[in-house]
Structure 1
Amino acid sequence: MREEELRAMIAAAFPDATVTITDLAGDGDHYAAHVVSAAFRGMTRVAQHKAVYAALGGRMGGELHALQLTTGVPS
């Protein structure tokens, strides 16, 4: 999966989000994502992560092997 594709999928689900993607291994398979969105307000960290994984439409474990995820709400 390309970095741009990953960013686009997250941005489509969270249009207000600030999304930072880092390729951890240079192989297009292991990424870190930092996602900040007002949509996460009132959600637990686990719920925030589940929402991001849902936005990826089942690609985790297939096209995307690993995602180190950090989420938050704007300050």
Structure 2
Amino acid sequence: MELFGDTVEKVVNFYPKISILEEVVSECDYFRIVKNEQGYLAYCSVLRRILTISQTNNCAQFWSKCPMRVLAHGL
């Protein structure tokens, strides 16, 4: 698995049918794209987990209003 060109040696559980996507961009500071052998995964640093496709789409469109992002800025 690769995260911005670095190799990540961590086992991450996810459901491929709802998580594998084409590369998506979000302006959120906490959004990361992880590439694996099946495709791309979206990772949220605040939630510390892989996002589903629908959550990724919301993150890309409504990132500035995300309650998790607002919470992280308050910490």
Give the TM-score taking structure 1 as reference length: 0.26
Give the TM-score taking structure 2 as reference length: 0.26
